[in-house]
Structures are given as structure tokens and as C-alpha cells.
Amino acid sequence: MENHDHAFTLSIDWEEFGQLLGRDHTGVVMPAVPKTIDRQTDILLSLLDETGKKATFFILGMLAKYRPDLVKKIAAEGHEIGMHGQHHIRMNTLSYKEAQADLSDSYKLVTDIIGSPIYGYRAPYFSVNETNLYVLEILSELGLVYDSSIFPVKLKNYGIADFPPEDTLYQLPNGKQIVELPLTIMNWRKKRLPVAGGGYMRAFPGFILKKIFTKLDAEKKNVMLYMHPYEFDDRWISCSTHYPPGKGYSKPKSFLINIRWNLFRGTIYNKVKYLLKEYHFITCLKKAEYVKDHSHSPAILGRSQ
């Protein structure tokens, strides 16, 4: 069997920022998804094709509903399809029943589109924390093999302090098991720092990123990169076209959002391309199966920690 003792994974939370922002701002999900998602998905698929690597796409239900053709296209290129929930609402703000409905709706929609089961999940905003670990039980009951939603460091809006940063097979209170693939952190001066997301790819100069990933690789860490389609867009993107008439943001607010979307974003493509060429990449599912096959006994995870 191929050795995946330490490997990199590129995970894409497949969503359209304009659609999300429009829904959050107006309360309405507009069926006409901006065409930017076509361009961004194509850029990503070409990059993966060119570098010969496979990625995992966590598909957002409210986008897939209107663009099943794109989900099929991603699956047809051999990438892993996972789910990103239906409505992109923080899971820790939902009741158990609401969380269950969001996850089962998302599961049904995505599996119906691709015509085969899916095995993994990423929560919006990494919103599985010590208050809602039952999400993992819901996932296991849907038949999922792994989750990749937990940030093993406490940050402002998410994360669990001291959660084990290693990929681990857990025994759950409902008697089932699940593999957790936490988001990558780096130990630096006795602190845990997140390093592998789009924001960091954008902010750190290339030479610093090279050092970070060389260090993680030398330490034989599993690296989970987490990105979004818009981060690969090769054009200026604007939030102003994504709303029902008359419902857009004010000009100053639009300006700030557009700056946040676009500043230094153009550097991300080459940084990710470098990593794809340099390191051993496998999908989340391969990683999770490897962890499962190599676990002597599962760790115990309670309902809360």
C-alpha cells in the first residue's frame, strides 16, 4: 500500500462569495448565481490538471442547487466530492434538529447530483467546537467517514483550544466512529498558529510560506490547505453585481468589501501551484481511509470536552 504517513491535501470550500454575501445582506438566495463561479472553477480544475493532483471539493448545497452541472464537471475530473452543508450558517448557532436537517439536505442534494455516496464534510466557518461535537455523530449516522471542520486552536470566531492537531479516528458516543482531519496549525514559540488557509496564502510572502511548508513537511505533518474558488480568480471581482435591484451595499461598504476580496489575491495562484508541484497531495478521503486502516484503537470523543 502506498505510504501516506504524511501528505498534503488541497480542500476547496466550493461556494460563491457573491451569492453568500447577497443572501446574508438581503435574506434572499438569488437563483441567478454569478458567472464568476464558472471561471473560478475552471481555473482550479486546469491548475489541478496541469499539476496532476486531485483535490477535495466540499460542495455548498445552496450553490449546487443552481449549478449541478458544475458539480458534475468537478466529479467527472476525478476529484473527491464532499459537502459543505446546505445553507452556510454557523453550525454552533443551530439546534441539534436544525443541524441535522442542514446536513441531511446537503447530503441528499449532493449525492443525487453525482449519483454516488460522499464521505466527508467541512462545516461553514469551521463551526464545530466544544459546544456542538454532536455534529460528528450526525455525520457518522449519514455514513460519512470523516469530518474536517475542527480548528485545533481557539481563535476569535472558531476553534477548540488544545484539540489534538493530528488526524485521528474517534469513537463517538452513538457507538459509531469518524476520522477527524483538523485544519493545519504550526507550532511557533509554544503557540499554535493557523497557516494553511487562503488568507495566509495571500498575506505571507512566498519565501515565508516556503519556510513554513518546508518545516511542516520536515516534521512529517499532514497539511490541510483550505481555499475557496474566488481565491483563484484571475480578474478583479466586485460585490456590487450580486444583489436584487436597490439592495446593494453603500458605496463605501462595497469599496471595503472589494478591497478585502482583491488585495494581493493575485499572488495565491502561483503559491498554491508551487505547493502542488512540490509535495505529495492526496484527497481527504484517501487520508481518512489511511488513518482508519492504521489506527490500532480509536480515541474516545465525548459529547462535550
Q: Which of residues 6-25 bind Zn ion (CB under 5 A)?
A: 13, 15
The site that binds Zn ion (CB under 5 A) totals a number of residues, namely: 3
Provide, rounded to whole angstroms, the least separation between the CB of residue 96 and Zn ion. Answer: 21
Provide, rounded to whole angstroms, the least separation between the CB of residue 183 and Zn ion. Answer: 13
- The residue written with cell numbers 496541469 in the block is 50
Please tell me the total number of residues recorded for the chain in this structure: 305
Task: Please give the residue whose beta carbon sits closest to Zn ion in the complex.
Answer: 13
Is residue 83 helix, strand or coil? strand
Instruction: Tell which residue, 241, 186, 194, 214, has the closest CA to residue 33.
Output: 241
Q: Please report, for residues 180, 285, 287, the alpha-carbon distance to residue 164 in angstroms, rounded to integers and kept in the order given.
A: 10, 19, 16
C-alpha cell at 83: 459537502
Provide, rounded to whole angstroms, the least separation between the CB of residue 14 and Zn ion. Answer: 9
Nearer to Zn ion, 53 or 122 (CB): 122
Using DSSP bridges, classify how beta strands 168-171 and 120-121 pair: parallel, antiparallel or unpaired: unpaired
CA angle 189, 195, 11 (to 5 degrees): 150
Nearer to Zn ion, 126 or 279 (CB): 126
Provide, rounded to whole angstroms, the least separation between the CB of residue 58 and Zn ion. Answer: 8
Residues 102-131: x/- map of binding to Zn ion (CB under 5 A)? ----------------------x-------
Provide, rounded to whole angstroms, the least separation between the CB of residue 3 and Zn ion. Answer: 32
Binding site for Zn ion (CB under 5 A): 13, 15, 124
